[in-house]
C-alpha cells in the first residue's frame, strides 16, 4: 500500500560550511548556466562539447547537460508533449559552469530557468540555423521520418520552435555558411571572459 505522507515531509535543511562563493573562489570562476537552444541538428551538442573541452583546457570546471543524453536516464519517463518538454527543462538545475543543450522550444520554459538566476548568470545562446540547414544535416534521420509522418510532433516540422527575443548570444550562418565548432565556442568564451565569469 502506498504511503499518504507527502514525499517532502519530515525533512530539515542542514547548513553546510562551504558555500557557493567559497567554491567560486577555489575554482577561480563564477558559476553560470550557458543555455544552448536551437532546432534539432543546429549544432547544440557539438557546441556544448567543444565549449566544455575548451573550458577544461583552461582549467575551468564545466559540466554538459544534454537533452538527448538526459533522456536516456533521469528524464527517460518524459516524451515530447508540451508538458513533458517543460518538465524536461525544469529538472535541469545550475551548478558550476553548466552547459545545457536542449531544443527547449518554448520561451516560457527558458524564461523560467532564467528567473532562477537573477544575477545575469543565465546566458542564453541561440543557434540560429535555418531549418533547411538542419534538415540537410539530419544526422539521425529524424527529419526524414518526421516528413514521412513516422514521427509526430517534431520540432520545426509539425511542432513549434519559439526563437529567443533577447538572448545573450546569437550564432548564425554567414552567407549560408555555419561558423566552425571552434569559432562557435570562441564566441561564447569571449562573452564569458568579458562578463568576468572566468577570472585570471
Ligand atoms: N518529436 C521530437 N521533437 C524534437 N526532437 C525529438 C523528437 N523526438 C525525438 N527527438 C530527439 O530528442 C532530442 C531533443 O531532446 P531535448 O530534450 O533537447 O528536447 S526538448 O528540449 O525537451 O524539446 C533531439 O535531439 P537533438 O537533435 O540533439 O536536438 C532528437 O534527437
Ligand atoms: N559548426 C558546425 N559546422 C559544421 N557542421 C556542424 C557544426 N556543428 C554541428 N555540425 C554537424 O551537424 C550535425 C548536428 O549537430 P549536433 O551537434 O548533433 O546538433 P544538435 O545537438 O543541435 O542536434 C552533426 O552531424 C554535426 O557534426
Check if 8 is active-site.
no
Residue nearest (by alpha carbon) to ligand 1 atom 19: 103
Closest ligand to Cα 162: 1
50: pLDDT strictly greater than 80: yes
Query: What lines the ligand 2 site, CB under 6 Å?
Result: 38, 40-46, 137, 139, 178-181, 184
With the most atoms of ligand 2 within 8 angstroms of its CB, the residue from 41, 99, 103, 133 to mutate is 41
Closest to 75 (Cα-Cα) out of 93, 60, 61: 93
Threshold 0.90, pTM exceeds: no
Pairwise CA distance, residues 195 & 79, whole Å: 36
pLDDT for residue 154: 97
- Out of 40, 42, 101, 104, pick the active-site residue: 104
Give ipTM to 2 decimals: 0.98
Residue nearest (by alpha carbon) to ligand 2 atom 23: 41
Residue nearest (by alpha carbon) to ligand 2 atom 27: 46
- β-pairing, 32-37 with 62-66? unpaired
Q: How many CA atoms lie within 13 A of 37 on its CB side?
A: 29
Set of cell numbers at residue 55: 573550458
Main-chain phi, psi angles of 101, to 5 degrees:
-125, 95
Set of cell numbers at residue 139: 544526422
Q: Which atom of ligand 1 is nearest to the CA of 105?
A: 23
Burial 67-89, CB ≥16 within 10 A → b, else e = beebbeeebeebebeeeebbebb
Closest ligand to Cα 155: 1
Q: 134, 41 in Cβ contact below 8 A? A: yes
E-assigned strands of the chain?
32-37, 62-66, 97-101, 122-128, 169-172
115: pLDDT strictly greater than 90: no
85: pLDDT strictly greater than 80: no
Amino acid at each position: 500500500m502506498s504511503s499518504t505522507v507527502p514525499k517532502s515531509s519530515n525533512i530539515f535543511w542542514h547548513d553546510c560550511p562551504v558555500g557557493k562563493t567559497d567554491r567560486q573562489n577555489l575554482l577561480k570562476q563564477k558559476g553560470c548556466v550557458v543555455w544552448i537552444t536551437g532546432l534539432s541538428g543546429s549544432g547544440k551538442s557539438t557546441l556544448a562539447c567543444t565549449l566544455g573541452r575548451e573550458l577544461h583546457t583552461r582549467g575551468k570546471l564545466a559540466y554538459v547537460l544534454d537533452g538527448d543524453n538526459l533522456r536516456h536516464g533521469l528524464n527517460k519517463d518524459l516524451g515530447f508533449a508540451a508538458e513533458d518538454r517543460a518538465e524536461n527543462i525544469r529538472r535541469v538545475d545550475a551548478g558550476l559552469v553548466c552547459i545545457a543543450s536542449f531544443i527547449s522550444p518554448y520561451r516560457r520554459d527558458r524564461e523560467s530557468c532564467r528567473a532562477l538566476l537573477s544575477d545575469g548568470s543565465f546566458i542564453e545562446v541561440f543557434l540560429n540555423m535555418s531549418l533547411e540547414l538542419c534538415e540537410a544535416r539530419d544526422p539521425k534521420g529524424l527529419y526524414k521520418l518526421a516528413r514521412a509522418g513516422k514521427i509526430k510532433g517534431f520540432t520545426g516540422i509539425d511542432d513549434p520552435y519559439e526563437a529567443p527575443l533577447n538572448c545573450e548570444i546569437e550564432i548564425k550562418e554567414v552567407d549560408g555558411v555555419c561558423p566552425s565548432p571552434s569559432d562557435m565556442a570562441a564566441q561564447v568564451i569571449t562573452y564569458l571572459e568579458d562578463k568576468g565569469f572566468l577570472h585570471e
